[in-house]
Structure 1
């Protein structure tokens, strides 16, 4: 049971990488934690370390988010357990391959985690937090949103879903007391890339950010009330320009006749 006198955070994908960095940083700043991942042994080891160092309560919640049972377990914790002040919706992985060549079972598993589990858990957290009139949700996307690379259609599309879903959540939860951040990491120095069949050494060092720096930027963006955090973007006006371009296209995306160039 979390301590009602301390803020509590639930983090998916908490056993490694970005999720683990969020856990360590939030423990350091006095949060009780609910840690979610498939690998119970890693969660238990992390929980023991954080409890000992920071004197907080850490709840371990093993769940495989590829499965309906795993998603239901975390949904129930968000909906019915002790209140969660911060939900870090981070779990995800990349299965890469050309369209028509990628293993269809790997594609399906990725969609289950990156899209279906992501959306179900975002929904559960939003419903509970809206009812309580407070809370924060961080949805972790990817800079692949802005790029198209061969053999990346599946992963890139799942992260495009995260971005659209999150931006619309922000509209749905306006004036509810619930904050929603879209966090867009670039290349982060974690084992994510090795699991996806790549290596961090294949990226130029100037393109690779440390996970701890990403987490600090995300939490600082919350303080600054930036709804979208792209940690390495020098000027947020570049994002604003993208939103402005979308607004210019939108009215003309649905008209009663084709544009003149098609006549």
Structure 2
């Protein structure tokens, strides 16, 4: 029987990360859990080891802190048992752009983009050399909708989508699967970080439903999985419209509508 790869999950102490840990443990995968809250991870690990009989390591790390993040990067580079990365750690902010403190914005951007891309970069060369493995990046539907009024958070999630799609194009031929998961409102602690009472919102998806749907997309090897989007044809049409524009970008002169006097 083929040995199942170990799965490293960031933001694993609660919410989406913890749900991914439970699902992969049930599938018989050993885990490496990464988060700031070691106590929560310990409680989760004890339960999953007892219930699923898998081996679970805990790495306490603040991924915004380069000195702590480097240990996680090294684990991804060097541990050949790790074949799946769930890039889930992220945060949000409340208030409008001009109300947000710049240091808080900087931390959000670092966690949601810099840490995510560095961890992906740490594992991708090894997976490509092995010709197998997966990188799952948790984005957000907000990255497609500036109308939601979350400019910095949404921009970081647009980054996650673009990165994931571009990596999929580059790495698929080398046997590495890259998935972007785009939740919408999901019942996690991120709302508290933004100062929002999640119980006042409508259309909020439960974490278990979100992760179960994301794993259906994972098993189907979808490059982009949008669990709350019931009309999948809308995403297909969106992608077709985007791709139809690409040949028009390589032009030596401006479009006629931008010429003086047009």
SS at match of 1:197: coil
- Paired residue for 2:125, among 116, 119, 127? 127
| CA–CA distance in structure 1, aligned partners of residues 149 and 235 of structure 2 | 26
Consecutive unaligned residues in structure 1, runs of 5 or more: none
The question of whether the paired residues in 2 share the 8 Å contact of 1:98 and 1:150 is answered with no
| CA–CA distance in structure 1, aligned partners of residues 158 and 188 of structure 2 | 21
1:17 aligns with 2:15: yes
Q: Identify the residue that residue 117 of structure 1 maps to in structure 2.
A: 115
Consecutive unaligned residues in structure 2, runs of 5 or more: none
CA distance change for structure 1 residues 41 and 99 in 2, over 3 Å: closer, same or farther? same
The question of whether the paired residues in 1 share the 8 Å contact of 2:33 and 2:57 is answered with yes
| CA–CA distance in structure 2, aligned partners of residues 152 and 223 of structure 1 | 31
| CA–CA distance in structure 2, aligned partners of residues 5 and 134 of structure 1 | 13
Q: Identify the residue that residue 87 of structure 2 maps to in structure 1.
A: 89
1:252 aligns with 2:248: yes
- 1:232 shift after superposition: 2.0
- 1:254 shift after superposition: 4.6
Q: TM-score, normalised to structure 1's length?
A: 0.93
Q: Identify the residue that residue 70 of structure 2 maps to in structure 1.
A: 72
CA distance change for structure 1 residues 151 and 186 in 2, over 3 Å: closer, same or farther? closer
Q: Identify the residue that residue 226 of structure 2 maps to in structure 1.
A: 230
User: How big is each residue's C-alpha offset from its partner over 1:8-51, in whole Å with a ceiling of 9 and x where there is no partner?
Assistant: 11100000110011011111121111000011111111111111
- 1:257 shift after superposition: 2.7
Q: TM-score, normalised to structure 2's length?
A: 0.93
List aligned pairs for 1:1-263, cutoff 5 A: 5-149=3-147, 151-204=149-202, 207-262=203-258, 263=262
CA RMSD of aligned residues (A): 1.6
| CA–CA distance in structure 2, aligned partners of residues 124 and 241 of structure 1 | 34
| CA–CA distance in structure 2, aligned partners of residues 49 and 150 of structure 1 | 38
How many residues are treated as equivalent by the alignment? 258
